Structure 1
Amino acid sequence: MRQTQWNRRQALFAVGTSLACFSTTASARVASAGVANRGPRPNILWFVSEDNNPLMGCYGDPLARTPNLDAFAKRSVLYENAFSTSPVCSTSRFTILTGLYPESCSPAQHMRSTVAQLPKEIIPYPTLMREAGYYCTNNFKTDYNCSVDPQEIWDESSAKAHWRNRPQGAPFMAVFNYFTTHESQIFFETKGSITPSDVRVPGYLPDTPEVRGDIASYYNRMEILDRQFGERLAQLEADGLAEDTIIFYYSDNGGVFPRSKRYAYDEGLRTALMIHVPPKWQHLVDAPPGSRVKAPVTYADLAPTLLSIVGRPALPYMQGRALLGPYARPPLEFAFGGRNRMDENYDFVRSVTDGRWRYIRNYTPERPWGMHGSFEWLAKGYQSWEREKIAGRLDSDRLRFFQSKPYEELYDLSTDRDQLKDLSKDPAAQGQLIRFRAALDRHMLAICDNGFIPEGAPEEGYWNSRDRTRYPLERLMTIGAAAAQRDRKNLGLFERSLTDANPIVRYWAVMGLLMLGEAAGAQKPQLLALLRNDPSVQVRIVAAQAVAPFAAKEAVAFLGGVATSEQSFEIPLQAVAALTALGGLARPALPALKLTAKSSNEYVGEASRYAVARLEGTYTPATVTFDLDAISKPFRGEIPPPTP
C-alpha cells in the first residue's frame, strides 16, 4: 500500500475519534512516520495453542515435559508476564485480530457474539499485512467474535493453508492454531508420562481423583503440543526458511482447569509468549536471544508489533504497543483484562495486574463465581467440585467459588499464587489498592469500556458507544460502582436515576436496587412502573428480577413471556438468567422454560435446560445440559469434537 494511502487511512480514523473516549497515548504514538522502503522482509510464523497457562519448563514448571518449547525459549525473547485481554478464546481473538480490547466495541466483549460490527476504519491485521505485500494464511481456527469474513481477510484460511502455497518470492505470514490443549480435550483421559499422583492441586480446588485426573491429562496434552511444535519448526528448517522467519509462540488465553478459563484470575488470563528473531533480523529487537522480559504485555500488542516489523506505525485506534521493530515502545506498567458473558452466563468483571499484584473489580457481585456452565461442567473436575460442595466437604477456600462475590479483590501473587488471600481490606495493602483502582478507572475511560451496555441494546457498537449522550461512561462508572458496593447509603442515587432519560442509566439504577435486595423494598412502586412501562426491554427484565420478591406473579409472568418471545437470542437469554437467579420463585415459569429448552439458540437452550432441572429437582453435577451436537458447529468456533 502506498504511503499516501496509509496516511489517508490514519487521517480518516482521526476525524472520527473526536467523539471517542480514546487513549491519548495510543493516538500520540502514530504520528506521521513514513513506511520503510520495501526491501528484504522477514517471514512471520505464529504457532498458537489453545487454552493454556505457561505449563512449561522454561516458565519454571517443574512437572512439564516440554523440551522443544524450552529449547526455543533459549533462543527467543520470553515474556514472563504475558496476558490475554479476556479469559476465553473468542473475545481474546477479537483483540488479536484488531488490536482493540473487545469491550471497546460492544458486543465483542461477550463470548461468541458474532454480531459485533467493525467500522470500516478498523482493519484486521491480515488485511494490513496483505497490503504490505505479505502472503497471509490461517490454519484454521478463526473465532474472531465479530462480523469479519475470514475468507475476505486471508489469502487462505483452511485446514490446508500453508506458507508453501505462497507465490514465489513473496514473504509470508502463516498462522497455525493447535487444538491439542483445548478445554474439551480434558473431557477424556489422556495418559502419558504424568500421572494424577504427580500433580499439584491448586488451593481453591478439592483434592479429588477427578480434579487430579484432569490436571494430569492436561500436562500430557502439553507434552503432545510440545512435540507438534518441534515438528512445525523442523518443517520450517527443512524448507530452508528458518533464518528468514520471525517466530511467535503464544496461547490464545489462560488455562482450562476449574476457575481458570472464563475467569478473570491469573489462571484465566496468564499465557505464554515467546518471540524468536533470527540473527539476520536481530536489528528489529533490543533484547538478545534468551532474554526474559518482566514488564506486562497483552495481546493488544500483537497487531502493532506486526506493523512495526514491516516498518509501519500502529493505526490510531490500536490500544497496544509494538514489542519490537522500529516502532517499539517502552514497557507498560499494567495489563488489563475482563469477563462479560461467558457462554450462557452473564457477568461483568474487570481486572488489572502488574505481574506481581492482581486487582479484580466485580460489577455484578450478586452472581457467584461458580455459575453452572453447560460446557464447563462436561469436565469431571467441575462435576467433582460441585459434588464436594453438595456433600458439605469443602473448606472456606474451596467453598468460596459457589458464593457471591465482593466488589473488590486484591492479591499478592508473589506469596499467593492461587489467589486465596484477598488483601483488599488489609490496611497494609491500601496503597496498592488505591494504585490499582486508579489504573483501572483510567483504562476503562481510555478504551471507552462498553461493559455497562446490556447486550442487545441499541447503544452497542464502536461509534454508538463513543457518543457521550448515548453512553455517559463516567456517570455510569459512578452508578455501577455504587451498585456493586451494595451499600444502602446509595439508595438516593438509585432512586433519582430511575427516571433518567438514558436507558442505560435506568438499567444500572435498577441493578443497584436489585443488588440491595430487601433493602430496596421501598422502591417497589417505581420498579413495578418500570417493569410495566419502560421502553427498554433490558430495563424491564432487571426490574422484574428486582421486584420479584415483592410481586412474584407479575414479574415471573413477564420474564416467562420474554423468554419465549421471538427476539434476538440476547433478550430471551437475559430473561432465562433472571428466572434462574430467582430460584423457587420462578416455578410458575416452568412451562415457558421447557419451551425455551428446545430453542434453536444453544445458549438459550442450555440455560433453560439447567433452570428446568433445578426447578424440577432432577439436577445433579453430572446432568448434561450442553447441546452435544453443537460442538462441531461453526458457532462453537470451528473446533472439532473432543478426541478420546
Structure 2
Amino acid sequence: MTNTRRQFLKTGLAGAGAMAASAPMRSMAQPAPGARPNIVWIVSEDNNPFIGAYGDALANTPNIDALAKAGILYRHAYSNAPVCAPSRFGILTGVLPESCAPAQHMRADAKAAGILPSYPDLLRKAGYYVTNNVKTDYNCDIDPKAIWDDSSTRAHWKNRPEGKPFMAVFNLMTTHESQNFKPTPGKVQPDAVRVPAYMPDTPVIRADIAGYYNRMEIMDGQVGKLLAELDAAGLSDDTIVFYYSDNGGVLPRSKRYCYDSGLRCALTVRVPPKWAHLAPNGPGSVVEAPVSFIDLAPTVLSLGGVPIPKAMQGRALLGKAAKAPGKYAFGMRNRMDERYDFVRTVTDGRWRYVRNYMPHLPLMQNQAFAWLAKGYQEIDRLRMEGKLSPLQQRLFEERPFEELYDTQGDPDETVNLAANPAQASRMAEMRRALDAHMLAINDNGFIPEGSSLEGYVPSRVAGAYPLKRLMLLGQVAARGDRRKAGVLRAALADRNEVVRFWGATGFAVQGAFGNDLPLLAQIAKTDPVPQVRVAACEALARSGDAATACPLLAQMLVARYHSKVRLQALNVLTRMGPAAAPALDQLRALTADKDEYLPNAARFAVQMLEGTYDPSKPIYDLEALLSRGSTNGPAPKD
C-alpha cells in the first residue's frame, strides 16, 4: 500500500469553513524589468466541476467562484487519465503517461528520471523557489527530493529565500474518494441532488452524491484560506493562481472511467493586472475550446520564462509561449488498481468518442478500494438481486468497440451514437484524430504490463514496437470479426511478442474454433513470454477449453513470476468463474501475498468461487494494510 493512499485513509483534512476570497488587486504597477510572477497551484482531489462558476446551482463554492470571476475559466478542461497517478505523471513531466509505459497504469514505476524533464526541476534551475505540499504520486522513479526545494507537509512559499520568485503547489485531499466512504452532512441534502441515469435512485446513492457536494464546500473553504494568506502577505498582485482537480470523480462510474464524469475537471486561472500581458484572455473570460492537463507543465514554464523542452506534448495556455488551444483533448485508461483494461478517448468539448480495445471485459469490474464506497456496494448488491434497470446493468456487461456521446444533449453519456448513420462523418473525423494522436505520442498501451519493451526509450527502438501495425491488429482483435481470424492466426506466429499478445487477445475477444484451438494450446504452453501465454489461456477458456487453461494459469501465480504477470493470470481466472475452481488452493495462497493488488484480487476470486461474496463486506482490509508501514516514509499523523 502506498503512503499516498494511506494518508488519505487516515486523515480527513476537514479544513476551515468557507472564507472570503482574496481582496481585490491593489496595484496596477507594471513588473520591473526581468521580474517574473509568482505562481500558486491549488489542486483538489477527484472531483468534477461541482462548482457554482460552472453552472452547478447546488454547489456552495464561493471562493472558487470568485477566483473564476476574477480570472479565466476553462469550460472544457480534462485530465488525461481518470485517476491520480497517471494524471500526475503527465502534469509533472508534460509527457502523457501512455508515452512512457508503465506510467499509464495506476500505481506503477515508470523509468523517467534522467530521461524526461519535470517542470519543478526546470523552474528551480531557472531561479524559482519551488515547493509541493504534499502529495506526489508521480507514477515514476523521479525522486521528489531531487526536483523540489521542499516537498512535505511543511512546504510553503512563506519559507522562500528573500527576493526569489516562487512556484508553490498545495494539494487538498478533502474531496479524495476515501473521504466519501463515510457520510458528510452539510447544506446539500440527499433529496436535492440529481441521480445520473446509469445509477439507481436509492437513499444510499443520494447520500453519496450529497456528501460529495458537502466535501466540495469544505474544500472551497481551504481554497479561500490559501488565497487569504497570499493577500495578507501582500502578494496577490504578484501571484498567478491556478485552481484545478487532478482528475474527475468520485462517484460510481466517474473516477477511473473514460467519460466526462471521470475526465472533466475544473480549471480556472487568476492573473493579476500587473501580469495581464501574460494572459491571452482577460478577467472574467471563459475559454470554450478543450484543454487538458498535459498543457499545465508547458504553461507554467512559459509563465516563468523557461524554455519548453521538445519532449513535452502539451501547449502553453499562458505566458510568452502561449498558443491557442487545440481542437481536441485526449484521455486514456489502462490498469486501474487490480483490474486491466485498455481504453482511449477524444473529445472536442461536446462530442466524446471512446474506443475499447478490450471490449470483452465488463465496464465495471470489482475493485477492492473503490468498493469501500457505499455507492458501489449498493449498485453491486442490486445487480446480484436482479434489480438494476437494463441501462444500469450495462455497467457490468461487455462493451462495443466504439462509443460516441453528445455530452450536451446526453450529459450522462448513456446513448451510444457510434452506429447512427447521421454521425458517420463525425465518427470518421474523431477516429482519424485519435489514430493520429496515438501515433504522434507513440502510445505504449498495446504493450502488456511487465514486458521488457515498456518505457519511453525501449518502445522507441526501431522495429521493437510496430505501433501502426499494432493499432490495425488491435482493431481487428477488438471488433471480434471471425472473418479476420487469419490475421490473428498470422499474428500468433510473429517474432514480436506484442504482436503475438494481440493475436491471442483477438481470439479471446471473438472466440476460437477448429484448428486454432490446438495452436492456442501450444502457445499457452510454450511461448517464451508469459504475458502471451496468459492471453492464449484466456482465448482457450473463452473458447470452451478451460480445462487446459486453468492449470497453466495457476502455474503463473507463483512468486517467481513478475507480479503483474501473476495479476494478469489472476484476472483471467476470475473471469473464468466456476471453471477456475481447480486453482482455488493457489488463489487462497495469494490472499496473503505482500503485493498491493494481488491479495485483494485473490480474495474476490476466492469468495466468488466459494459463493461467499457480499458487496457490503469490503474485501479491502484497511486495518491490516494501514499497519504494514510504507516504502514512501511514515504516514502523516491524524
TM-score, structure 2 normalization: 0.93
Give SS of 2:403's match: strand
Task: Give the deviation of 1:198 after TM superposition.
Answer: 0.8
Q: Which residue of 1 aligns with 2:371?
A: 377
Q: Secondary structure at the match of 2:217?
A: helix
C-alpha contact (below 8 Å) 1:521/1:550 kept by paired residues? no
2:432 is equivalent to residue 441 of structure 1: no
Letter in 1 for 2:344: R
Q: Does 1:524 align with 2:517?
A: yes
Aligned to 2:185: 191
Give the distance between the partners of 2:559 and 2:228, measured in 1 at CA. Answer: 55
Counterpart of 1:533? 526
Q: CA deviation at 1:468?
A: 3.8
**Does residue 245 of the first structure (1) align with residue 236 of the second (2)?**
no
Structure 1: distance between partners of 2:95 and 2:627? 28
Deviations 1:519-571 (A, max 9, x none): 44531111111011111110011111211354433321121111123233111
For residues 117 and 268 of structure 1, do their structure 2 counterparts lie closer, same or farther at Cα, with a shift above 3 Å needed?
Answer: same
Q: Which residue of 2 is the match for residue 17 of structure 1?
A: none
Aligned to 1:84: 79
Asked whether the 8 Å contact 2:290–2:325 carries over to 1, the reply is yes
Query: What are the equivalent positions in structure 2 for 1:57-136 lying under 5 Å apart?
Result: 57-114=52-109, 116-118=110-112, 120-136=114-130
Q: Does 1:54 align with 2:49?
A: yes
Q: Contact (CA 8 Å) 1:610, 1:625: kept in 2 or not?
A: yes
Q: Counterpart in 2 of 1:156?
A: 150
Corresponding residue for residue 568 of structure 1: 562
1:147 aligns with 2:151: no
Distance 1:166 1:521 in 2: 71
1:458, distance to aligned residue in structure 2 (A)? 0.5
Cα–Cα, structure 1 residues 86 and 633, in superposed 2: closer, same or farther, change >3 Å? farther
Which residue in 1 is equivalent to 2:574? 580
Q: Distance in 2 between matches of 1:37 and 1:460?
A: 47
Distance across 2 between alignment mates of 1:219 and 1:76: 23
- The answer on 1:391 being equivalent to 2:352 is no
Whole-angstrom CA distance in 1 between matches of 2:248 and 2:549: 39
Residues 205 and 398, structure 1, Cα contact 8 Å, conserved in 2: yes
Q: What's the CA shift for 1:393?
A: 1.7
Question: 1:597 deviation in Å?
Answer: 1.1
Unaligned runs of 5+ in 2: 1-30
**How far apart are the structure 2 equivalents of 1:633 and 1:217?**
30
Question: Quick one: which amino acid aligns to residue 95 of structure 2?
Answer: L
Cα offset for 1:312? 2.9
Could you tell me how far 1:120 is from its partner in structure 2? 2.0
TM-score (structure 1 length as normaliser): 0.92
The answer to whether 1:512 aligns with 2:506 is yes
Mapped partners of 2:296, 2:580: distance in 1:
46
Match of 2:4 in 1: none
Range moving further from structure 2, 449-458 or 538-547: 538-547
Q: Is the 8 A contact 1:632 1:640 kept in 2?
A: no
Do residues 308 (structure 1) and 302 (structure 2) align? yes
Change (3 A) 1:438 1:325: same
| 343 and 151 in structure 1: CA distance in 2 versus 1, 3 angstrom threshold | same
Task: Answer whether contact 2:370 2:376 (CA < 8 A) is retained.
Answer: yes
- Tell me if the contact between 1:87 and 1:268 (Cα under 8 Å) persists in the aligned partners: yes
The residue that corresponds to 1:174 in the other structure is: 168
- CA deviations 1:466-512 (Å, max 9, x no partner) are 12411000000000011000111110101111111111100000000
Task: Tell me if 1:203 matches 2:200.
Answer: no
CA contact (8 A) 1:369 1:404 kept: yes
Deviation at 1:630, TM superposition (A): 3.3
Aligned residues between the structures: 606
User: Partners of 1:460 and 1:379 in 2: how far apart?
Assistant: 33
Does the C-alpha gap of structure 1 residues 476 and 633 become closer, same or farther in structure 2, counting only changes over 3 Å? farther
For residues 83 and 600 of structure 1, the distance between their equivalents in structure 2, rounded to whole angstroms, comes to 35
Alignment of 1:604-623 (within 5 A): 604-623=598-617
Among 292, 302, 327, which residue is 1:333 paired with? 327
1:324 aligns with 2:318: yes
Q: Which residue number corresponds to residue 483 of structure 2?
A: 489
The answer for unaligned runs of 5 or more in structure 1 is 1-35
Which residue in the other structure is 1:22 paired with? none
Query: Could you say if the C-alpha distance between residues 484 and 496 of structure 1 is closer, same or farther in structure 2, counting changes exceeding 3 Å?
Result: same
Identity %: 53
> Which residue of 1 is the match for residue 252 of structure 2?
258
Question: How many Å separate the matches in 2 of 1:68 and 1:87?
Answer: 25
